[in-house]
Amino acid sequence: MYECVRLIVSLLVLPPGGAIVLSLLGVLLWRRWPRFGRALAAAGAATLWLASLPIVANALVTALGGARPLDADAARQADAIVILGGGVRPEAMEYGGDTLGRLTLERVRYGAYLARRTGLPVLVTGGAPEAGVRAEADLMREALEREYGVPVRWSDVRARNTRENAANAARLLRAEHKRRVVLVMHGFDVRRARRQFEAVGLEVLPAPTQVPRWESVEMSDWLPNPVALYTTHFALYEVLALVRDALQTSVAESPMAAQGRR
């Protein structure tokens, strides 16, 4: 159900799907309502162009808390490294089976780098995206141990979302009296993931990968490219998730809801 809803949102709201749908709707309405149809088509094209700009993608990631890299000295004071799963490539032909998706692989590589620099134990978390597909955590452990030579102490193969990532990780870590974690994710994940992990009592040191660079803005940052579109897609997904979480919290704390709990 969750994957179905996520797919619908991706197709109808987030770029590039949302922008394409808007433009197609404008074309369909063009003959009956020319001015309105042209406006919709132009809005769709403009949205797609803006979403493809690196400067826009970087601004979104920055707004979501992902513009500051981890302080290596502070990281050494943590108790563990937690690496969040970010997707699986099912039935990858060149590997003869399931393998890590692009986002997960980037996080695993950065997590391995941090583990070697700090000597901290590693926890990986991520369940199976669907029946018959290997859990993210299993694939992450395999890559870390076999390809990067980094041992994994804890593995959570049941989490289906960020809230469960946090709850399951906290349970595993509290069993060994550990609470301060280096949390490896992408920059667009920082704000929401940090909230979820802090909500279960963990102290979080965000360790985003793919941190935007703002030291020098170049001409290429104003030219559309597919990597920026990819980043914008996930950043806007996180914005929608934050709005959803805020609405759920608002409903849960409303006077009517509070009265119902009495």
Which pLDDT belongs to residue 216? 82
pLDDT for 256 beyond 90: no
Residue 216, class by beta-carbon neighbours within 10 Å (0-12 exposed, 13-18 middle, 19+ buried)? exposed
pLDDT for 85 beyond 90: yes
Which pLDDT belongs to residue 2? 60
Which pLDDT belongs to residue 11? 78
Residue pLDDT, tens place only, 224-233:
999 999 999 9
d(CA 191, CA 187): 9
Q: Among 13-17, 61-65, 245-249, whose mean pLDDT is lowest?
A: 245-249
Q: What is the mean pLDDT of residues 78-82?
A: 98
d(CA 104, CA 83): 9
Q: How confident is the model at residue 261 (pLDDT cuts 50, 70, 90)?
A: low
What are the C-alpha distances in Å from 227 to residues 60, 223, 240?
14, 11, 20
pLDDT for 18 beyond 60: yes
Three-state SS for the chain is CHHHHHHHHHHHCCCCHHHHHHHHHHHHHCCCCHHHHHHHHHHHHHHHHHHCCHHHHHHHHHHCCCCCCCCHHHHCCCCEEEEECCCEEEEECCCCEEEECHHHHHHHHHHHHHHHHHCCCEEEECCCCCCCCCCHHHHHHHHHHHHCCCCCCEEECCCCCHHHHHHHHHHHHHCCCCCEEEEEEEHHHHHHHHHHHHHCCCEEEEEEECCCCCCCCCHHHHCCCHHHHHHHHHHHHHHHHHHHHHHHHHHHCCHHHHHHHC
Q: What is the mean pLDDT of residues 46-62?
A: 97
Q: Whole-prediction pTM value?
A: 0.91
Which pLDDT belongs to residue 253? 73
Q: What is the mean pLDDT of residues 146-173?
A: 97
Which pLDDT belongs to residue 61? 97
Q: Which residue has the higher pLDDT, 206 or 13?
A: 206
Which pLDDT belongs to residue 257? 59
Which pLDDT belongs to residue 1? 59
Mean pLDDT score of the chain, rounded to an integer? 93
Q: What is the mean pLDDT of residues 18-26?
A: 94
Q: What is the mean pLDDT of residues 33-46?
A: 96
Q: Which of 100, 64, 52, 81 is nearest to 150 (CA)?
A: 81
Which pLDDT belongs to residue 3? 64
Q: Which superfamily is assigned to 72-209 in CATH? A: HUPs (3.40.50.620)
Which pLDDT belongs to residue 195? 96
Q: What is the mean pLDDT of residues 85-89?
A: 96
pLDDT for 258 beyond 60: no
Task: Give start-end residues of each CATH 3.40.50.620 domain in the chain.
Answer: 72-209
pLDDT for 236 beyond 70: yes
Residue pLDDT, tens place only, 127-141:
998 899 999 999 999
Which pLDDT belongs to residue 96? 96
Which pLDDT belongs to residue 42? 97
d(CA 207, CA 187): 8
